[in-house]
Structure 1
Amino acid sequence: ILAINFILSDVGLDEVLQTFLMGLATFTRVVILLIVSTLIWVPIGVAIGFNPRLSQFVQPFVTFLASFPANFLFPFVTLFFIQHNIDINFGGIVLMSLGAQWYILFNTIAGAMSIPSDLREMTRNFGVKGWQRWRELIIPGIFGAWVTGGITATGGAWNASIVAELVSWGDKTLEAYGLGAYIARVTAVGDWHRIVLGVGMMCFFVVGLNRLFWRRLYEIAERRFKLG
């Protein structure tokens, strides 16, 4: 209640609604990032995880990529966007993914490595291939790990949106329509009422997503998608 009074003392309900809509825009970017990262990195991660020698070499490298400060690359990517007239509303997804996507790959590799080799051998002996192999072996084996990677990746993407939706190069500034850009803009001028509003709205989306989506997926992973 105190936080609401603090916000509304200087910010109207119209702006609260606007920040909610901005949150939906950023949420859409996070969802696109998650889907694209899953489609790209899950098959690659499974292939790596099923190859012990390759996974021993790749896993430390992926860990490094996940921990590398992706915002170090932002100026170079921003320059590329400016030179090629790429809309930051779409380019922001690329910036957000520079660090977040690797959590999907890392956890998928770990999940694939945890699938017992005798089960993999059995599916080969019985001629289980293609989608049937994914449905009966791979998805149950990696689903819990993918959920963990998804939570980490989306959390990282929400944080990254603050620096990915409002970027500059020289006298050029690119601003996407989103909650991250809103927080960055009001933080730059020290507007505490709007900072609290923006951060609070982001917490609303993140906590809501965790409770309504990720928690249920964890329950599914425990109840249905597990080996044995």
Structure 2
Amino acid sequence: AGRVLGVDDRPLTARRRRGRAGDLAFAVVAGGLLAWGPADLLGYLRHRTGLGVFGEPFLLGLATLARVVVLVAVATVVWVPIGVRIGFSPRLARIAQPVVQVLASFPANFLFPLATWFFLRTGLSLNVGGMLLMALGAQWYILFNTIAGASAIPTDLREAMDDLGVRGWQRWRRLIIPGILPSCVTGGITASGGAWNASIVSETVTFGGTTLSATGLGAYISRATSEGDYPHLIAGIAVMAVYVVGLNRLLWRRLYRLAETRYSL
């Protein structure tokens, strides 16, 4: 009966031990694969092209990094005030959120031919226009998370600010920014990752037999993919992973820790 009701701890202890042994075995196997995989890829690249193949994508990654930074900064300036306004108004949120969800779910690459036609007609370089294409899919993460953060700010705190007559920048500094910063950082992380992914299809676009290409890591990966150049493709993907992980480690993780420990309600 004790074994059926779970009060006999001997079988459970045996299971825990077997579970720990299984976890340890999985960790050893996974660690071995992770250690073997990069070494094998480096050996392949050293044999085919030499490790100098990483130099060009690292330099091109700086151009894509600049586009990602500008995109996230501009999207934050544009969408954070709008998201706060929507999040503070339940009536407006009921109207706006379905519209935003439809816009966010619409495949952005469907608009690429129209955008390419616009670039050709206006002479706008894809080095600038590529940021607009990347923003079509990435900017909504900032808006969604800002709405969620603003909606979570307690109503009594907002009413207290109204009663005290706190307006303008003081209201943003004392209430709104501490309330939405964790959500905004989450939106920034997601938008940044989405922008890096979108750069592969946004830095090289085709319309009516005309191909526009920007200077960047996304165009490098796209070109290597179309040409079946596996060494350069592997190098481009590896460099993009380094940029994304490095940005998360050096910037976003610190911002998120700051938002949780200092700027939170």
Using the TM superposition, give the Cα deviation of residue 184 of structure 1 relative to its aligned residue in structure 2, in angstroms: 0.3
Match of 1:128 in 2: 166
Equivalent runs, 1:27-38 vs 2, <5 Å:
27-38=65-76
Q: Which consecutive segments of 4 or more residues in structure 1 shift more than 4 A?
A: none
Give the total of aligned pairs. Answer: 227
SS in 1 for 2:205: strand
Equivalent runs, 1:85-100 vs 2, <5 Å:
85-100=123-138
How far apart, in 1, do the equivalents of 2:45 and 2:236 lie? Answer: 10
Q: Does 1:192 align with 2:233?
A: no
How far apart, in 1, do the equivalents of 2:263 and 2:148 lie? Answer: 16
Selected match of 2:258 from 220, 224, 227: 220
SS in 1 for 2:212: strand
Q: Does 1:169 align with 2:169?
A: no
CA contact (8 A) 2:42 2:51 kept: no
Using the TM superposition, give the Cα deviation of residue 34 of structure 1 relative to its aligned residue in structure 2, in angstroms: 0.3
Match of 2:146 in 1: 108
Using the TM superposition, give the Cα deviation of residue 66 of structure 1 relative to its aligned residue in structure 2, in angstroms: 2.1
TM-score when scaled to structure 2? 0.83
How far apart, in 1, do the equivalents of 2:211 and 2:218 lie? Answer: 15
CA contact (8 A) 1:65 1:99 kept: no
SS in 1 for 2:49: coil
Equivalent runs, 1:2-151 vs 2, <5 Å:
2-151=40-189
**Larger Rg computed on CA atoms:** 2
Match of 1:178 in 2: 216
Using the TM superposition, give the Cα deviation of residue 58 of structure 1 relative to its aligned residue in structure 2, in angstroms: 1.2
The one-letter amino acid paired with 1:131 is W
SS in 2 for 1:173: strand
The one-letter amino acid paired with 2:120 is I
How far apart, in 2, do the equivalents of 1:147 and 1:213 lie? Answer: 10
RMSD: 1.1
SS in 2 for 1:204: helix
How far apart, in 2, do the equivalents of 1:213 and 1:63 lie? Answer: 28
Using the TM superposition, give the Cα deviation of residue 11 of structure 1 relative to its aligned residue in structure 2, in angstroms: 2.7
Using the TM superposition, give the Cα deviation of residue 192 of structure 1 relative to its aligned residue in structure 2, in angstroms: 1.1
SS in 2 for 1:115: coil
How far apart, in 1, do the equivalents of 2:165 and 2:231 lie? Answer: 62
SS in 2 for 1:86: coil
The one-letter amino acid paired with 1:108 is T
How far apart, in 2, do the equivalents of 1:30 and 1:99 lie? Answer: 12
Higher relative contact order (CA 8 A, sep 6+): 1
Cα distance per residue 1:175-209 (max 9 Å; x no partner): 10000000000000111111111111100001111
Moved more, 55-64 or 194-203: 55-64
The one-letter amino acid paired with 1:219 is R
Unpaired runs of 5+ residues, structure 2, are 1-38
Bigger helix fraction: 2
Using the TM superposition, give the Cα deviation of residue 8 of structure 1 relative to its aligned residue in structure 2, in angstroms: 2.7
Using the TM superposition, give the Cα deviation of residue 13 of structure 1 relative to its aligned residue in structure 2, in angstroms: 4.3
TM-score when scaled to structure 1? 0.96
How far apart, in 1, do the equivalents of 2:193 and 2:218 lie? Answer: 13
Using the TM superposition, give the Cα deviation of residue 5 of structure 1 relative to its aligned residue in structure 2, in angstroms: 1.9
SS in 1 for 2:123: coil
Match of 1:155 in 2: 193
